[in-house]
Each structure stands twice: as C-alpha cells, then as structure tokens.
Amino acid sequence: MPGTSYHLGFQGRKRIVKMLKQIMEQRRASSIAYDDMLYCLLHSKDSKYNLSDEEIIDQIITILYSGYETVSTTSMMAVKYLHDHPKALEELREEHLEIRKTKKPGEAVHWDDYKSMSFTRAVIFETSRLATVVNGLLRKTTEDMVLNGFTIPKGWKIYVYTREINYDPFLYPEPLTFNPWRWLGKNLESHNYCFIFGGGSRLCPGKELGLLQVSIFLHYFVTSYRLLLH
Ligand code: HEM
C-alpha cells in the first residue's frame, strides 16, 4: 500500500535491482577481472554453481543488507552503551592499548590480536543482546510439530522472536543491564538459546566477519578518540 514503509522498501528494492542489472551488463561487456563477489558469480567455472541473473541479484542484495545494517547498527549501539558505562569503556580501552603497546605507530592489527580481544567480543555480544540488532529468525515447518501442547502444522512460517529470549531473566540475570562481563568465561555464546547470529544450518555465514569488523572499528575508536560526557 503506498505510503507504508513496506511499499517504500519495495520501491527501494526495484531501484537496487535496476542498478545491479546495469552493472551486470557493463561487467559482461568488459574484459576487466574484478576481485569481488559479483565477478565470481558472473564467471563461475563450475556449471554446478551457475546462477540465473535473478539469483545473482538476490545473493548480492542479501549480502549487502545482511552485512551492512547489522554491523553498522551494532557499532553504533556499542558506542552508545560504552558512553553510558565508563567502567566498560575503560576496560575495553585497556585491552586495546595493551595491543597497541606491541605495535609500531600506525602498524595494523593482525588476526592473533583480534583473537586476543576477549573483552571486546564480550562487549559486542552484550551490545547485540541488549540492542537485539536482529529481532528474530524465520523458519518453516517441514512436518507437524507439537510445542508445549500446541500443534504447529507442516508448512507454517514461524517467526522466532529472539528479543524475548535475549531479555529472559533466567538466562540473563538483570537482562536490561549492560553487563559485558556476563559473557566472560561462561561459554554463553555456544548455549542453544543464544540466537544472536541465528542457529543450525542457517547460522549467519558472516558471523566472524561481522565480529571482526566491529572489533577493528572499536580498536581504532578507543585508541584514537575519547568519549566525553556533556
Ligand atoms: C554483527 C553482525 C551480524 C549479526 C548480528 C548477524 C545476524 C544474523 C542472523 C541472526 C541471521 C539469521 C540466521 C538464522 O536464520 O539462523 C543472519 C543471517 C545471515 N547473515 Fe548475518 N549477521 C551479522 C553480520 C553479517 C555479515 C557481515 C554478513 C556478510 C557479509 C552476513 C550475512 C548473512 C547472510 C547471507 C545470512 C543469511 C543466511 C541464510 O539464510 O542461510 N551477516 N545474520
């Protein structure tokens, strides 16, 4: 219906599809070997992986949307929570200043540095939980299912509302408090109720990339800037 967000979303999608079709035409007419995903999808050597234009466009839109909105919102909310919780900000800064001590000025951080950022990872998980950047997961029943006495018929689409799980006081005591320390040493990430990155065979394929991007953003943010209260 015109005027609704849903309608605007559809219009936006039409514009992106048009742009992607133009880019694909230009790429097909060009002999340049681009080092990106669109090039790989257009030039798949194995016919088993050949996708139609429509499927390629769907893949690119999925990656653009899933990879952009999640990482940018998590980074923004982490800055907000750190601003509101100076102790957490201080501990995070210490973790990153320790890493900088092992580097020359301007030297980039490496994979091992990223793996050592345990408090940073806890800050990101706590941010994702409290802000619930992704509200829920979509699934479809492949057979009749009985849950708590209710039958969900085969073929129904289900929305698993993960905010409800993220705020469950039995799983996360004082659920509305920003407490990154709750994630340290307890293996909460691998519990079967932790759906921050989804679960099962549809688990977010960009999980580690997303965590890496937010960690690197926080590294430069806390080692290059100071947050002041006004
Ligand atoms: C903090 C960052 C991110 C969060 C919190 C996040 C969260 C999620 C969640 C909850 C799902 C649904 C999984 C399920 O249904 O079980 C998902 C799916 C997906 N994510 Fe992420 N994601 C993040 C970053 C990324 C990045 C960086 C990429 C790629 C560049 C990405 C690509 C995808 C794709 C392609 C899917 C669909 C997978 C499928 O349906 O099989 N995500 N993500």
Tens-digit pLDDT profile for residues 96-136: 999 999 999 999 999 999 999 999 999 999 999 999 999 99
Ligand 1 near 162 CB (within 6 A) = no
Would residue 99 count as lying in a domain?
yes
Ligand 1 centre from 204 Cα, in Å? Answer: 4
Give residue-wise pLDDT tens across range 125-172. 999 999 999 999 999 999 999 999 999 999 999 999 999 999 999 999
Shared domain for 84 and 35, answered yes or no, is no
Query: What's the ipTM?
Result: 0.98
Would residue 95 count as lying in a domain?
yes
Cβ proximity of 67 and 206 under 8 Å: yes
Q: What is the dihedral of CA 137, 140, 141, 146, to 10 degrees?
A: 40
Quick one: pLDDT band at residue 80, thresholds 50, 70, 90?
very high
Shared domain for 38 and 113, answered yes or no, is no
What residue's CA is closest to ligand 1, atom 12? 198
Ligand 1 near 65 CB (within 6 A) = no
Shared domain for 217 and 133, answered yes or no, is yes
What total of structural domains would you count in the chain?
Answer: 2
For the chain, give the mean pLDDT: 94
What residue's CA is closest to ligand 1, atom 39? 202
What CATH number is given to the structural domain containing 95?
1.10.630.10
Shared domain for 13 and 91, answered yes or no, is no
Strand partners, 210: none
Regarding predicted confidence, which is higher, 129 or 230? 129
In which domain, by residue range, is 119 found? 64-224
Ligand 1 near 160 CB (within 6 A) = no
pLDDT in the model for residue 230: 64
Would residue 2 count as lying in a domain?
yes
Shared domain for 85 and 150, answered yes or no, is yes
Instruction: Give rounded-to-5 percent helix, strand, coil for the chain.
Output: 60, 5, 35
How many helices and strands, by DSSP H and E, does the chain display?
8, 4
pLDDT in the model for residue 185: 85
Shared domain for 218 and 115, answered yes or no, is yes
Ligand 1 centre from 36 Cα, in Å? Answer: 19
How much of the chain exceeds pLDDT 70, in percent? 99
pLDDT in the model for residue 138: 94
Ligand 1 near 63 CB (within 6 A) = yes
CA distances from 56 to 33, 91, 223 (A): 17, 44, 40
Ligand 1 near 202 CB (within 6 A) = yes
Q: How many CB atoms neighbour CB 219 within 10 A?
A: 21
Does residue 88 have a pLDDT over 90?
yes
Would residue 55 count as lying in a domain?
no
Does residue 228 have a pLDDT over 80?
no
**Residue where the block lists tokens 């209710």:** 150
Ligand 1 near 194 CB (within 6 A) = no
**3-class secondary structure, 157:** strand
Mean pLDDT value across residues 33-52: 88
Mutation test residue for ligand 1: of 72, 121, 158, 204, the one with most atoms within 8 Å of CB:
204
Ligand 1 near 70 CB (within 6 A) = yes
Shared domain for 113 and 209, answered yes or no, is yes
Q: How far apart are CA 106 and CA 77, in angstroms?
A: 27
Would residue 215 count as lying in a domain?
yes
Shared domain for 13 and 41, answered yes or no, is yes
pLDDT in the model for residue 159: 94
Shared domain for 26 and 74, answered yes or no, is no
Query: Mean pLDDT lowest for which of 26-35, 40-49, 131-140, 174-183?
Result: 40-49
Helix/strand/coil (H/E/C) assignment for every residue in 83-101: HHCHHHHHHHHHHHHHHHH
Ligand 1 near 136 CB (within 6 A) = no
| Total count of residues recorded for the chain | 230
CB under 8 Å, gap of 24 or more: what pairs does 75-81 form?
A: 75/213, 75/214, 75/217, 75/218, 77/127, 77/130, 77/131, 77/133, 78/123, 78/124, 78/127, 78/214, 78/218, 79/221, 79/227, 81/123, 81/126, 81/127, 81/130, 81/131, 81/178
What residue's CA is closest to ligand 1, atom 30? 67
Shared domain for 69 and 180, answered yes or no, is yes
Q: How far apart are CA 230 and CA 227, in angstroms?
A: 10
Which residues have CB under 8 Å from 163's CB, separation 6+? 132, 135, 136
Q: How far apart are CA 226 and CA 83, in angstroms?
A: 10
Question: Which atom of ligand 1 is the closest one to the Cα of 195?
Answer: 10
Would residue 58 count as lying in a domain?
no
Quick one: pLDDT band at residue 229, thresholds 50, 70, 90?
low
pLDDT in the model for residue 137: 94
Quick one: pLDDT band at residue 11, thresholds 50, 70, 90?
very high
Would residue 230 count as lying in a domain?
no
Would residue 57 count as lying in a domain?
no
Shared domain for 8 and 107, answered yes or no, is no
pLDDT in the model for residue 142: 96
Give residue-wise pLDDT tens across range 182-220. 999 888 888 989 999 999 999 999 999 999 999 999 999
Q: How many CB atoms neighbour CB 46 within 10 A?
A: 6
Shared domain for 85 and 193, answered yes or no, is yes
